[in-house]
Amino acid sequence: MTRRVSKCARLALRVAILVMSVAGAGCGQAGPIAAAARPPAMPPAPATRAVWVARFHYRTAEDVREIMAQCRALGLNTVLFQVRGEATVAYASAHETWLREFDERDPGFDPLAVAIEAARENGLRIEAWVNVTPGWYGRTPPRDLSHVYHAHPEWFLHDQQGARQALNEHYVILNPCLPEVRAHIVAVLEELARAYGIDGLHLDYVRFAWDATPGAASRFPRDAATLAAYQRQCGRSPDDDDDAWRHWRANQLTRLVADIRDMLRRARPRATLSAALWGDAGAGYRDYLQNGPGWLAAGLIDVAYPMAYRTAADEFRRNVAGYHALGGRVVPGIGVYRLERPAALREQLAACAEWGGDFALFSYESLLPTFRDRRQARPDRRVEAQRAARRAVLAEFLER
C-alpha cells in the first residue's frame, strides 16, 4: 500500500508543477501565476460534512426547504447547491437563461435565495455549485433563442473545418481558450457572487468535458481564433508538438480559474472557492486538461473536492492521497450512488475519518428521497432500503 500511495502522490506533484505557467506567459514554459493572496490564518475549521444537491433534486421552494431540513437532520453541515447547469441558472440572471429543469422559464421563486435562507435557518454552510464549461446537454437544442447555444455559436468548440461539436448524449462545451468565453463565465459568476450571500463558490466541470465526442482531444478546439492565439503565443501549430498544444489548452483553463479566483476576492472576499476535481489527477490532466492539483498547490482554489468515485477502498485511498500530498484543504468526494454495499461506504468514511473527518457525498438523492420519489405511484422499496442502509452507516461517523 505504501509504495502505491507514494507513486500516486508523486504523480500528483508532477501534475501540479504544470500550474506554474499560463497562456499569457507563452507556451506553457515560463511565467508563474501569482499565488493567491490567502486570508489571514484562522482557527482550524470544523470537519466539512457536505452533500451535493443537484439541479435535478428540486422543483419548488418547498422542495428546497425540505432538502435543507433533511441535511440538518442527517447531521451534515455543508450543502453544495447546484445553480448552474448548461449555461442555464437557478436565479434571475442578466446573462443566462433559466434551468432546463424549469422548462427554461421563471419558476415563480428564486431557488438560490430560498436555499440560502433555508440553509441559514438550519445552521448549514451553502456553496453555489456551478458547472463551468458545459454549454448544453443532449441532442435537442435549447428552445430559448437567447441561450448562448443560439446567441453565440462561435463560443463553442469547433474543429479545423469549422464544424461545431455536435450535440450528443453528454455535454457540448464552451471554448475556454477564447477570452470572450472566459469573460462571460466570470461575469455570470460575479453576478451570482455579488447578489447572493453564499458562503462559497463550488466549481464543477471545469475541464474539457468532451466525453461523448470521439477524437475530441485532437480535433478541438481548432477554430481560427484559437489557432491564431496559439500561433501568436507559441509560434507553432498544434500538430508541431502534441505536448505543447496540450499544455497550452490546459493553461487556458488555469487562466479561467485564476480569473474566477480574482473576481471572487473582489466580489465576496470571505467566500471560499472550491472545485470538484477528477479523482485520478493524472487522468484528469491527460484526458480533460484539468490541472486540479496544480490549482490547489498554487492557491488558485481554497479547497479541492476530488471526485474519488471508486467502489474499492484501496482505489479511493490512492485517488485522495495524491491531493493530500499537496498540503492544501482536501474534502474527499464519495460516490455514494456507486456503493451498493453498506460496508463499502463504511470503508471510505473510515478513511476520511483517518484524514481528519472531511467528506462530501454524491449525492443527496442517493441518501434521501426527492420530489421525483413523491411523484411515483408506488414507492421503490429496494431504493428506500438502500438509502436507509446508507444513512445508518453515515450515522456511525456523524455521531462520533
Task: Report pLDDT digits (tens) over 286-305.
Answer: 999 999 999 999 999 999 99
pLDDT at site 45: 75
Tens digit of each residue's pLDDT (9 = 90 or more) over 170-193: 999 999 999 999 999 999 999 999
What is the reported pTM?
0.92
Measuring CA to CA, how many Å separate 293 from each of 83, 279, 290, 313, 337? 25, 10, 9, 21, 25
- Residue 56 is given by DSSP the state G
Q: Rounded to an integer, what is the distance from CA 52 to the centroid of its chain?
A: 10
In three-state secondary structure terms, 130 is strand
Q: Which residues contact 149 (CB under 8 A, 6 or more apart)?
A: 87, 135, 136, 141, 142, 156, 172
Confidence band for 14, pLDDT divided at 50, 70 and 90: very low
Low-confidence winner among 46-50, 194-198, 361-365, 376-380 (lowest mean pLDDT): 376-380
Q: Cα(247)–Cα(286) distance, rounded to whole angstroms?
A: 10
**What distance lies between CA 269 and its chain's CA centroid?**
20
Give the span between the Cα atoms of 383 and 336, in whole angstroms.
Answer: 13
User: What local confidence, expressed as pLDDT, does residue 28 receive?
Assistant: 56
- Residue 194 corresponds to which amino acid? R
Average pLDDT of the chain? Answer: 91
Which residues lie below 8 Å from residue 367, measured CB to CB, with a gap of 6+?
51, 74, 336, 361, 387, 390, 391, 394
Phi, psi of 25 (to 5 degrees): -100, 15
Q: Are 98 and 106 in contact (CB under 8 A)?
A: yes
pLDDT at 43: 55
Cα–Cα distance between 223 and 229 in angstroms, integer?
10
Q: What's the confidence (pLDDT) of residue 211?
A: 86
- Give DSSP secondary structure letters for 229-264: HHHHHHSS-GGG-HHHHHHHHHHHHHHHHHHHHHHH
Burial (0-12, 13-18, 19+ Cβ within 10 Å), 80: buried
Q: What is the pLDDT of residues 330-347, one digit of tens each?
A: 999 999 999 999 999 999
Q: pLDDT value at position 375?
A: 87
| End-to-end Cα distance, the chain | 27
C-alpha cell read off for 145: 433563442
258 pLDDT above the threshold of 70: yes
Judge contact between 365 and 395, C-beta under 8 A.
no
Between 41 and 387, whose confidence is greater? 387
Q: What pLDDT is recorded for position 376?
A: 86
3-class state of residue 125 by DSSP: strand
Please state the rounded mean pLDDT for residues 113-136: 99
Closest-CA residue to 156 (of 299, 235, 141): 141
Domains and CATH numbers, the chain: 45-133+179-211+242-398 (3.20.20.80)
